[in-house]
Amino acid sequence: MFQVLGQKRRFIHDLKLAAILSATAGSVNAASFFAFEVLTTNVTGHVATLASEIVAYRWVAASAKLLWMAMFLLGAFCSGLFIEFVGRRYPRFSHTIPIILEMLILSFVAYHGSKYYDYSEELVQLLAGSLLFAMGLQNAMVTMVSGSVVRTTHLTGLFTDIGIEGAKLIAHYGNNHEKGKILDKFTLHIIIVVCFLVGGIIGGFLYANYLFKAFLFPLFLLLSAMIYDITYNRIYLINRAKNIRPSVLQKQFSK
């Protein structure tokens, strides 16, 4: 899912990655909206509201929108930087630092969020901005790991793709080769939308009942994904080693 890169990636890898991380993004987005009235995955909306705040001369509100946009950008930049540097020596683990950082941010918000009413407005904005930073981390990470096939934090482009792919499925009816490729993309994008929605419903429900502890749910999803990926990779390596001839193994260990 995370550790399979390049040409070795298959549709199932992208499907698993899309499902769990889009559910993570959806739950964070919904919980942050209830908590801070901030959408953490919608930079397009923040650009629009920034323009309206500038037109209305509301400079404090405009600065908050700029902060949130900058935090998302910074998260994507840091994720890309980590993946590029770590990926040179340990390509299979290039995703680890962004995911761990995202988990730390979610745990911080889950723990300190209930106290935010006692903070200043600036600190509240920074707390909300940290979630945009986390979503920037995730979006850049999943984009780079999947080779730009999967994006999990915004849906406008996905709905466009779904519409285009639906039209192509009709146009290529009867051409099984082309239809199979288009159907894979169509299925992947549908899964992202559905899982984002399901994650949002769960995140909103959890916040309504447990307040900031709701942010532990996406943290649990990320932790489960990492554990699954590590376990799956170890099983794969063990099975692969069993299929290698003893003479080959002996040569490798004698080096």
pLDDT in tens, 184-235: 899 999 999 999 999 999 999 999 999 999 999 999 999 998 888 878 666 6
The answer for residues whose C-beta is within 8 angstroms of residue 98's C-beta and 6 or more apart is 78, 79, 82, 83, 137, 138, 140, 141
What's the structural domain count of the chain? 1
The reported pLDDT for the residue numbered 34 is 93
Tell me the Ramachandran region of residue 148: left when phi exceeds 0, alpha when psi lies from -120 to 50, beta otherwise.
Answer: left
The reported pLDDT for the residue numbered 55 is 96
Range of the domain at 160: 9-246
Encode pLDDT of 64-105 as tens digits: 999 999 999 999 999 999 988 887 787 767 788 899 999 999
Residue 254 has pLDDT above 60, yes or no: no
The reported pLDDT for the residue numbered 230 is 79
Q: Is the residue at 254 inside a domain?
A: no
The reported pLDDT for the residue numbered 202 is 97
CA 198 to CA 92: how far, in whole Å? Answer: 29
Hey, what amino acid is at 163? G
The reported pLDDT for the residue numbered 252 is 46
Say what the pTM is.
0.87
Q: Is the residue at 251 inside a domain?
A: no
State the first-to-last Cα distance of the chain, in angstroms, to the nearest integer: 31
57, two tokens: 């001369």
Q: Buried b vs exposed e over 182-217: b needs ≥16 C-beta within 10 Å? A: bebbbebbebbbebbeebbebbbbbbeeeebebbbb
Residue 167 has pLDDT above 60, yes or no: yes
In this prediction, residues 37-63 reach a mean pLDDT of 92
Residues present in the chain in total: 255
The answer for residues whose C-beta is within 8 angstroms of residue 191's C-beta and 6 or more apart is 15, 18, 19, 22
Q: Is the residue at 101 inside a domain?
A: yes
The reported pLDDT for the residue numbered 56 is 96
Q: Is the residue at 1 inside a domain?
A: no
The reported pLDDT for the residue numbered 249 is 42
The reported pLDDT for the residue numbered 166 is 92
Residue 251 has pLDDT above 60, yes or no: no
Q: Is the residue at 77 inside a domain?
A: yes
| Listed range (24-28, 38-42, 48-52) with the worst mean pLDDT | 38-42
* Among 43, 232, 226, 38, CA closest to 151: 43
Q: Is the residue at 169 inside a domain?
A: yes
Q: Is the residue at 255 inside a domain?
A: no
In this prediction, residues 129-139 reach a mean pLDDT of 95
Q: Between vectors from CA 154 to CA 79 and to CA 146, what angle results, nearest 5°?
A: 50
Q: Is the residue at 52 inside a domain?
A: yes
Percentage of the chain with pLDDT > 90? 51
In this prediction, residues 40-59 reach a mean pLDDT of 92
The reported pLDDT for the residue numbered 237 is 59
